[in-house]
Structure 1
Amino acid sequence: MDTSNWDWEKGVKVISKINDCDAETEWLTEPYASPDGEKVAVLAKTEEGFDVCVNAKAWGQTFDNAWYPRFSPDGRLTCVASTDMEWTLAVDGEPWPETYGYIWNTMFSEKGDVIAAAIQQDGTYGMAINGEQVGELYETASEFTLSADGKRTAAVVQVQSMDAADIFTFQQGCYSVAVDGQAWDIKVVNAWTPTFSPDGSRVAAQMRSSLYDYTIIVDGTPWSKNFAMVWDPCFNPKTGTVVAPVRMAGKWGMAENEQVIWDPVYFQLWEQKFSPDGNNLYAICAPQYGRWTVVHNNNTWNVLVNTMLTDLTVSPDGQRAAAAAKEKDKWTIMADDALWPQWYDMVWTPVFSPDSKHIATKVEKPGKKLTVAIDGKHYKEDFTHCWEPVFSPDSQKVLIRGVQGGKFKRIVAKVNEF
């Protein structure tokens, strides 16, 4: 997401009252903020149906139903909408020309120039990009995925029909992965999490080859080795190799192109992520039963939490990592083998500054008070609604989007103000 052309002048800007709309409304939904903080949207129930208000101005487009409003990275507002029992996606008030039996799971390319969604038509399933169906539709489809550039799609699809409780056909393999709407030739018992390489040219997925054997399948070809279980694969952005956590003899390790590179010594291992240069591999692990930390190039951190560790994030320079950590019923951020001193009722995915020096996150304080914290110190003001923070390109400022007293505010604060 390119933030270089956003307004980064320090200060507070009141965008709109979230309960205002220039149309006659019966009720409004919760607000949704654009990435740059210049827009706030609500779905509006009118006497005729549903409309959408952006900065208190209605689209003027009435639908029988509307839901799932989402802003694209380039600032366009989308929502799933229906008219006369047909569903489509509306983008800035303009519905896609094609309608479907149902549509859901809006997805965006990194830049936001491509919008995709899952579709159902006449009982068959697939994907559409910018309003056009991609390839074939299938009896069932799930795990919908869009490449980073938005040019390609992938999903797990059913390629073999079977009757209810037909366990024999199921065990022979009824599923595959469809890339750009075309299924791979192979049939498997199950498949999950199709994952694109960073350039979008390749796809890897989890695969269940029998009732008891699991492996990774890459571009339609399975690894030759099976494991007791596997988790999501990912591609090394430098070498193109595929790594995935694998379970062997009751413990978890890491495999690369089917060869085990981290011995199976962990009680759990997942959410692995490479640094942008591909030289550092991080993951969330349980070196002890019920105790969680981060492992970096097969070296575990010392700090542990006892309930949960999730949303692992790697810094742009690849030298740091952070994750949301839960100890009993409180949350904080685990970063660089240490925990932030402040604990919260909830924290969200950590965000690194472009220079990798700072970490920010949305947090919830006692009393359902929401705000933003940077490097363990939270902002001086609280909000009833708040969205994840965004750093300026020079890493010196942070964008805070929040609602106070019914007003949606766009705040640009200096990092050293925290």
Structure 2
Amino acid sequence: MQFSESWDWERAERVVAESLAPMEEHKWQEEIHVSPDGETAAAIVCIDDGQFGLRMNDTVHDNTFDKAWKPSFSPDGKFCAIVQQDEEWTLAVDGEPWEERYGFVWDPRFSADGSVIAAAVQQDALYGMSVNGAAWETLYENANGFALSENGKRTAAVVQVRSLGQADPVTFREGVYSVAVDGETWDNVFMNAWQPVFSPYAHRVAAQVRLTLYDYSIAVDGILWPMQFQCVWDPCFQPNSSSVVAPVRQGGKWGVAEDGNILWKPRFFNCWHLQYSPDGSKLWGIVAPGYGQFTVALDGKEWNVSAPVVTDLTLSPDGLRAAALGNHDNKAWHLLLDGKAWSGRYDMAWKPVFSANGHHVALRVRSGKRYGIIVNDRPVGGEFDKAWDPAFSPDGTKVLIRGMRGNTLLRIVADVPR
């Protein structure tokens, strides 16, 4: 995390809040959320019928709302929630609502540094995005697949640009969807489009598109690849060139295409979640060499270890190592790291976290009703009634643990086990 340099990394176990139990004057309290640095706990509270507030540690913001939902912390520690006032919706940031109001708001998204917050909005039955409280100038009949670039400079969504009548397959097949970037649509129109993806510096946008009932491809800045496929998944930009790769299905098998040309020969039962190393020299993905058996592949070569479910592919900061979660029969979640499985098995596990130097890996897990933090396949910090994802110190020697025992929020900085 880029903000962790300023956090308190003194080795200690500290009580942040003695009791996060609902306050006596409140009717109820929703789920607790904890800031990335572990210094603040927050929750939506019901103060009275039709009156909601935002609690942070032991105080409640003065502003109250008719309704509030989907609370979350931004990367830089701002507490955000979607709120309703006078039958209009907006986003409240640290208790202060945006001035602009909408018919509805959902799907808040944050830039990497937290300075930009975007959300999907609906106003007068038209849809689009709002950025820091300012909506696109043009809204559309339908919008989905909302995206905010990592640097926060651009937004995108799949939008409907032609009206459809009831039971109107002719117009649908002719194409009704496009991609809007900062509210402005591409010239090309497609039968379907999905999930726009930004290049590293947000100069370009790519998306999956459907051309006919049976033909799919990738469009980059509205320009189609020269090849069509039986299906495609999310595209991925090469960090140091203009190239785009995507999983593609050809001849009933999955592989990877680059700018429309086959890069990984289609030989997998599935292939998705492509990620490049920062220097663009390595391409990782989740693949299924056999039916119902998934693993991780590097440059088209799969690991020897597999599982019926593999998810949450995560690369080390330098892109030289990879970790993912594996699951057998929805009972035994475990970590797959560099082609080997950790020994621990858990009822639930969350996305792995690498240290900045890539030497250490941590993850949050649950066994029964108890939560824990596992670092380098060893438990650290004890058990909790609730826990949040861990974070490493910038030098990789310590790990931050955020957990609750009873109603008490603890902030633990522990040494990384070797």
- In the superposition, the TM-score normalised over structure 2's length comes to 0.97
In the TM superposition, 1:205-354 aligns within 5 A as: 205-305=207-307, 307-328=308-329, 329-354=331-356
Which residue of 2 is the match for residue 200 of structure 1? 202
- 2-structure distance, mates of 1:354, 1:395: 6
Note if contact 1:116-1:127 (Cα within 8 Å) is conserved in structure 2.
yes
One-letter amino acid of the structure 2 residue matched with residue 369 of structure 1: R
Question: Aligned ranges for residues 396-411 of structure 1 at < 5 Å?
Answer: 396-411=397-412
Matching residue within 56, 81, 94 for 2:96: 94
Map Cα deviations across residues 51-84 of structure 1 (whole Å, 9 max, x no partner): 0110110002110000111111111111000011
Query: Which consecutive residues of structure 1, in runs of 5 or more, have no partner in the other structure?
Result: none
Question: Which of 111, 116, 119 is the aligned partner of 2:118?
Answer: 116
1:135 is displaced (CA, Å) by 3.2
SS of 2:413 mapped into structure 1: strand
Any idea what the Cα deviations from partners look like across 1:311-361, whole Å, max 9, x if unmatched? 101111221101010022211000111000111111111111101011111
Whether the 8 Å contact between 2:381 and 2:412 is mirrored in structure 1 is no
CA distance in 2 between partners of 1:298 and 1:144 (Å): 30
User: 1:37: which partner in 2?
Assistant: 38
Q: Is the 8 A contact 1:64 1:82 kept in 2?
A: yes
Q: Using the alignment, how far apart are the partners of 1:240 and 1:383 within structure 2? A: 47
CA contact (8 A) 2:245 2:257 kept: yes
1:233 is aligned with what amino acid? P
2:15–2:409: 8 Å Cα contact kept in structure 1?
A: yes
CA drift of 1:289 comes to 1.2
Structure 2: distance between partners of 1:372 and 1:288: 32
Change (3 A) 1:240 1:388: farther
Contact 2:29 2:45 in 1 (8 A): yes
Partner in structure 1 of residue 132 of structure 2: 130
Displacement of 1:20 in angstroms is 5.0
Pairwise CA distance, 1:24: 2.4
* One-letter amino acid of the structure 2 residue matched with residue 158 of structure 1: Q
User: In structure 1, what is the Cα distance between the partners aligned to 2:335 and 2:181?
Assistant: 37
Distance 1:332 1:157 in 2: 39
Contact 1:197 1:237 (C-alpha < 8 Å) held by counterparts: yes
Task: Write the distance in 1 (CA, Å) between the matches of 2:197 and 2:336.
Answer: 26
Report if aligned partners of 2:373, 2:381 keep a CA contact under 8 Å in 1. no
Question: 1:393: which partner in 2?
Answer: 394
Q: Match of 2:132, as an amino acid?
A: N
Could you say what secondary structure the match of 2:118 adopts?
A: strand
1:122-152 CA distance string (max 9 Å, x none): 0000000110112310000001000011110
Query: In structure 1, the residue corresponding to 2:305 is in which secondary structure?
Result: coil
Change (3 A) 1:380 1:62: closer
Question: 2:138 is paired with a residue of what secondary structure?
Answer: strand
Matches of 2:163 and 2:403, distance apart in 1: 49
Deviates more, 1:375-384 or 1:110-119: 375-384
Give CA-to-partner distance per residue, 1:23-63, whole Å, 9 cap, x none: 82111011001111110001110125100110110002110
Task: Name the aligned partner's letter for residue 347 of structure 2.
Answer: D
Tell whether the 8 Å contact from 2:13 to 2:412 is kept in structure 1 after alignment.
yes
Matched residues in 1 for 2:385 and 2:406: separation? 8
Q: Is the 8 A contact 1:18 1:42 kept in 2?
A: no
Give 3-state SS (helix, strand or coil) of 1:356's partner: coil
Give the match for residue 60 of structure 1. Answer: 62
Partner letter of residue 46 of structure 1? I
Question: Bigger CA drift: 113-122 or 313-322?
Answer: 313-322
3-state DSSP class of the match of 1:4?
helix
- How big is the shift at 1:162? 0.8
1:166-201 residue CA offsets vs partner (Å, 9 max, x unmatched): 010000000000000111111100000100001011
Q: Give distance in 2, aligned partners of 1:133 and 1:256.
A: 35
Q: 76, 86, 95: which one pairs with 2:78? A: 76
Q: SS of the counterpart of 2:77? A: coil
Q: Distance in 2 between matches of 1:269 and 1:158?
A: 28
1:2 CA drift (Å): 2.2
**SS of residue in 1 equivalent to 2:281:** coil
Taking the TM superposition and a 5 Å limit, the aligned residue runs for 1:18-37 are 18-19=20-21, 21=23, 24-37=25-38
TM-score with structure 1 setting the length? 0.97
Q: Helix, strand or coil: the match of 2:310?
A: strand
In 2, the alpha carbon distance for the partners of 1:31 and 1:386 equals 10
Report the CA distance between 1:380 and its aligned residue. Answer: 4.5
Equivalent residue, structure 2, for 1:373: 374
In 1, the alpha carbon distance for the partners of 2:371 and 2:152 equals: 33
Distance 2:4 2:194 in 1: 33
Distance in 1 between residues matched to 2:89 and 2:381, nearest whole Å: 44
Rounded to whole Å, the distance in 1 between the matches of 2:406 and 2:268 is 48
Once residues 368 and 192 of structure 1 are traced to their aligned partners in structure 2, the CA distance between those partners, rounded to angstroms, is: 37
Within 2, Cα distance between the matches of 1:154 and 1:39? 32
- What is the letter of the counterpart of residue 398 of structure 1? V
Task: Identify the match of residue 141 of structure 2 among 136, 139, 163.
Answer: 139
Q: 1:240: Cα distance to partner? A: 3.0
Contact between 2:381 and 2:414, CA under 8 Å: does it hold in 1? no
Structure 2 regions of 5+ residues with no counterpart? none
Aligned residues: 414
